[in-house]
Structure 1
């Protein structure tokens, strides 16, 4: 049985006592499928091919440190209002303090010009920061920043084409490179790697017929400002010696759907995943639990490695402490959920913290 098959069977067993939440089943199976495709792309991607060597003066945007010059940018107008990371006044951007990038899961040390692109995902932690930018017309570009080349190269985004040869520091030279299509009828991938300031490695990439979206995305990025990793969930209690390690938010389907992942770490690679999944179409969910957290019902799944706090309308708030994670226990998961604070209206960013 494949990992995807096991996950589907697990959800069916979990719901055997009552109504099967088909929306969650579908969402989870799709999520596992996406992760499998990402791993496959990262392992079997095609080799980088250089299609052109462009000098800095010809390919650089006016607002990015380290890339002087100008490019023919095209603005993108968002079709739907979505949440955006709010600015952190007075905080330095990546260009001013590159050593801070990826060190604070609650802060993004970059911004995006809303007149040119909109952020549909954002992430910070574990030494890397990134975002997925929507330029309109189905064109999306992934951005990653880090002081560590390996961290940048290991950061993956769904739907992108990846090379099988990891880049080195020498590859962050401001040149645009092309990855051949990975399958029949597929489109090539496009990469641009550069160092905005010494010691900071930046990568943008896209999939498309040409590299135009790549160039537009570079023009939209602002490295002289900082923003909050906005989310509708706040953790106020953590197990002993644990710390919040990363924040990752996806509003690709907003306001109909929202996905949030917060990871909590302890030394020796101990990890606990806190996931909030919101779907406006969810018609019902489990109401009776087999555990109690404070005065609220909770449910420990049959496989024993996942605990859910019940009673959140159209959403699932779970803590996964079992395989493939290690080191944390059900008691730790209970501690986290006991202090979890969820926004009153997940579809309204004005209620987010």
Structure 2
């Protein structure tokens, strides 16, 4: 069982009393990761958050209205989105369902860097988030932000699942599947596609500055336009993690960063660094996991569970889990042409900050800007 498999299993267990659409969720999660593995072998990033499905009765929701702006951002009248009612579940348990968020979680603001609206070249910097929303389209159990050189996305999980993407191109976007028609998103030409078989709707449009945006989920045209109304790219936030890496091999670069918010105070983070032709992904999760109970090494004075095993195509993967105290586990997964000694050194020298306030976490965990 890989680290991803454990995360998926634990996430599903959190909402074991709810109706979980496993096939659809895992397909979406792995599709998101596969897009980012076209050039790298580490990043199934979406698995942590969006293997969780929290079902509920149909709820009528209205997206927030934005003023019309000259840049082509949406300001059409809001529409109503109904979260689909799930099929009855025979499973019964006394576990409480996690609370739901009714407003977007707060990311720490970035002071200084321009927004994607004023400088499209800013999109693709892993420590910065430019894609935001003024309102959630439905109460959400999970909201995940992800940024990499390929672009940015926000995934929202509640009674339904929704993805909003921002990029300089459309290569990694979900395809426009089904019947298509031209639409107008606040004066900008766009395309809405609806697949009658799956119920999936895809709204894609281009801003005046050349950036592309897309809304994807089980939406009709009116609902997709309503979601587009709340999308913002005129603000800049930080993607932050609760640690620093004061010593890294020469040439180490940031590859991606993600922050996942669950209902209530719980959150997790994920960031991947590139070291030549190898990649190391760092994930922080609530829970102590097997790190302390099954430790087989000591790294940086901390008990660690270290396991090396074959991965995709038979190439080795190195997994390290460390209990950081305070009910948090740090997981590291190395793939590619990594050196085990170098990965262990990263774990041993890592400076753990912890805490629950992302605003107190560093702008960049790497020693280089």
TM-score (norm 2): 0.64
Aligned pair partner of 1:194 in 205, 227, 230 = 205
Specify whether residues 42 and 105 from structure 1 end up closer, same or farther in structure 2 by C-alpha distance, changes over 3 A only. closer
Query: 1:120 — aligned with what?
Result: 143
Note the residue ranges of structure 1 that are not aligned, 5 or more in a row: 1-5, 12-22, 44-58, 157-161, 183-187
Distance, in Å, in 1 between the alignment partners of 2:78 and 2:177 is 31
Contact 2:243 2:354 survives alignment (8 Å): no
Query: 1:274 — aligned with what?
Result: 282
1:143 aligns with 2:151: no
Distance, in Å, in 2 between the alignment partners of 1:64 and 1:133 is 28
Contact 1:122 1:130 survives alignment (8 Å): yes
Query: 2:257 — aligned with what?
Result: 247
More strand as a share of residues: 2
Specify whether residues 247 and 290 from structure 1 end up closer, same or farther in structure 2 by C-alpha distance, changes over 3 A only. same
Q: How do 1:281-320 residues align onto structure 2 when only pairs under 5 Å count?
A: 286-287=292-293, 289-301=295-307, 303=309, 305-320=318-333
Query: 2:118 — aligned with what?
Result: 96
1:180 aligns with 2:196: yes
Deviation of 1:144 after TM superposition, in Å, equals 0.9
Secondary structure of the residue that 2:347 maps to in structure 1? helix
Query: 1:52 — aligned with what?
Result: none
Distance, in Å, in 2 between the alignment partners of 1:204 and 1:275 is 27
Contact 1:287 1:310 survives alignment (8 Å): no
Specify whether residues 122 and 68 from structure 1 end up closer, same or farther in structure 2 by C-alpha distance, changes over 3 A only. closer
Deviation of 1:293 after TM superposition, in Å, equals 2.0
Note the residue ranges of structure 2 that are not aligned, 5 or more in a row: 14-21, 35-64, 83-99, 181-187, 310-316, 363-369
Deviation of 1:143 after TM superposition, in Å, equals 1.1
More helix as a share of residues: 1
Distance, in Å, in 2 between the alignment partners of 1:146 and 1:41 is 14
Deviates more, 1:218-227 or 1:295-304: 295-304
Aligned pair partner of 2:272 in 243, 258, 263 = 263
Query: 1:26 — aligned with what?
Result: 9
Deviation of 1:198 after TM superposition, in Å, equals 3.8
Specify whether residues 79 and 309 from structure 1 end up closer, same or farther in structure 2 by C-alpha distance, changes over 3 A only. closer
Give CA deviations for 1:308-338 in whole Å, capped at 9, x if unaligned.
22343433212111xxx20212222223223
TM-score (norm 1): 0.66
Contact 2:66 2:230 survives alignment (8 Å): no
Contact 1:73 1:216 survives alignment (8 Å): yes
Secondary structure of the residue that 2:77 maps to in structure 1? coil
Deviation of 1:224 after TM superposition, in Å, equals 1.5
Distance, in Å, in 1 between the alignment partners of 2:7 and 2:136 is 35
- Superposed CA RMSD: 4.1
Contact 1:309 1:316 survives alignment (8 Å): yes
Give CA deviations for 1:286-312 in whole Å, capped at 9, x if unaligned.
246332222222221253611222343
